[in-house]
Amino acid sequence: MSKLANVKTWGQSIWLDNLSRTLIQQGDLARLVAEDGISGVTSNPAIFRKALAESPYYQADMSRLKNELSDAEARYEALVIPDIQAACDLLMPTWQATQGNDGYVSLEVSPALANDTEGTILAARRLHARVNKPNVLIKIPATAAGITAFEQVISEGISINITLIFSLRQTDAVFAAYVRGLQRLVAQGGKGDGVKAVASLFLSRIDSHVDPRLAKLENKAASALQGHAALAVAKLAYQHYKMLFHGEGFAELANAGCRPQYLLWASTGTKNSAYSDVQYLDNLIGPETINTVPDATLNAFRDHGHVASTVDQHLEVAHSDYQTIESLGIDLNQVGETLQQEGLVLFDEAYRQMVASC
């Protein structure tokens, strides 16, 4: 059994953080599903910008659509939605075998809507209807406006990947909105078991931001904490997850068939070459989690990853690291706000460049 496939024995799903028509048409995605147990796919504007620039399989459709559609954003959606649908079809057996708990493909709303609650709601409804697959997740950023929109569309029974989470405070706000949305759904007579939501917590960017600040402090305690911030945030977020979704506060919804909102580890490609290239995989394996992994990191883990249940290990260290970093004057919740804004800018730039090329 592949190491990647073996991760499932510890309750974690591995999703591919990539999607292109090349992956679909040349059979690479199907092989990853069959051989490595890949059970989901995530996409974002940067991923599709790369796909449209590099894959030869879009050229004919791009030429045709320029004659058929005057709006560049409409052309972009017409190009990528068939890829989302094809990936959904490929993962449909996984979705069926897990009774809707796995086998999802994510498609993001326009980053320009990050601070527009009503616009996000309308876009989520429209994209969900256009893809028209039960195993699609619409991606919404975890801004204040996005979280309000997230609660609303969950109450309507739309499955969501809420993304660009970088802190415990943002994670808790997302979890609370999910619970409120489910409560509204169930109160209206809706079926909770038809809704899936994940919370995408970005990791490597936390360390990329915190490490230079620790280095500037020029003391041994701070230096020893470099590369520890993201794992501390992730491990503590998982404890928050367990307390909420396996506690009394979620019991009534669980009895109504509602699913917990799994944490999804995102941005798991290590950016600092001094660290293990599987740092954000090896240390965060555990039940009811998802790790969405770029191609290079998949290959690294397949080669030398360590498969064990680790997300609950070294919790005392995680608590200590988190508290010490904060005691050194680095507010990790504020770091999360900064990183979210930076992430929105990056995704918006990628989205604009991609749409302009269509």
pLDDT in tens, 164-222: 999 999 999 999 999 999 999 999 999 999 999 999 999 999 999 999 999 999 888 89
Look at residue 1 and tell me whether its pLDDT is greater than 80: no
What pLDDT, in 10s, does the model give residues 127-176?
999 999 999 999 999 999 999 999 999 999 999 999 999 999 999 999 99
Mean pLDDT of 113-125: 98
* Phi, psi (deg, nearest 5) at residue 324: -70, -40
Per annotation, catalytic residue among 3, 133, 139, 235: 139
Token pair in block for residue 21:
């028509």
Nearest to 15 by CA among 163, 125, 156: 163
Q: How many CB atoms lie within 10 A of CB 128?
A: 20
The predicted structure's pLDDT at residue 342: 96
Model pLDDT, residue 116: 98
pLDDT of residue 218: 85
Q: Residue 103: which of 179, 168, 16, 227 has the closest Cα?
A: 16
Element (H, E) at 16: strand 12-16
Q: Is 139 a catalytic residue?
A: yes
CB contact burial 44-60 (16+ within 10 A = b; e otherwise): bbebbbebbeebebbee
pLDDT reading at 354 higher than 90: no
Give me the pLDDT at residue 101, please: 97
CA distances from 51 to 57, 79, 137, 151, 268 (A): 9, 11, 20, 31, 20
Q: How far is CA 33 from CA 11, 27, 84, 339, in A?
A: 17, 10, 15, 32
Instruction: Look up residue 164 and give its amino acid.
Output: L
- Per mean pLDDT, which range of 26-35, 65-74, 262-271 is the poorest? 65-74
Phi-psi region of 219 (alpha: psi -120 to 50; beta: other; left: phi over 0): beta
State percent of the chain over pLDDT 90.
Answer: 94
| pTM score, whole prediction | 0.96
Domain boundaries along the sequence of the chain: 3-357
Name the pLDDT band for 260 (thresholds 50, 70, 90).
very high
What does the pLDDT read at residue 186? 97
Domain spanning 3-357, CATH class: alpha beta
SS3 content of the chain, % helix, strand, coil (to 5): 60, 10, 25
How open is the CA angle 235-301-107, to the nearest 5 degrees? 70
- Report the residue count for the chain: 358
Phi, psi values for residue 197, rounded to 5°: -140, 145
List C-alpha distances in Å: 178 to 85, 165, 195: 25, 14, 10
pLDDT at residue number 348: 92
Do the beta carbons of residue 229 and residue 321 sit within 8 Å? yes
CB 115 within 8 A of CB 143: yes
pLDDT digits (tens, 9 = 90+) for 242-257: 999 999 999 999 999 9
pLDDT at 358 over 90: no
pLDDT of residue 165: 98
User: 341 is written with which tokens?
Assistant: 């804004």
pLDDT of residue 187: 97
pLDDT tens per residue across span 295-351: 999 999 999 999 999 999 999 999 999 999 999 999 999 999 999 999 999 999 999
Closest by Cα among 77, 156, 97 to 122? 156
Q: Beta partners for 139?
A: 108, 161
| pLDDT exceeds 90 at position 112 | yes
Strands (DSSP E) found in 73-190:
104-108, 136-141, 160-165
